[in-house]
Structure 1
Amino acid sequence: MKKVIASLVAGLFATSVFAQAPAAPAATAPAVKAEAKETKAVAKADAKEAKADAKADAKVEKAQAEAKSDVTEANADATKSKAKARAKATKAKAEAKADKAVDNAEAKKDAAMK
Structure 2
Amino acid sequence: MAAKKKSVLAQRANELEDAVVRMFTGEAPAPKAKKKRKAKRKAAKAAPAKAAVKKAKKAAKKPAKKAKKAAKKGARKAKRKAR
| TM-score in terms of structure 2 length | 0.40
With the length of structure 1 as denominator, give the TM-score of the two structures: 0.31
Greater relative contact order (CA < 8 Å, ≥ 6 in sequence): 2
Whichever structure has more helix as a proportion of its residues is: 1
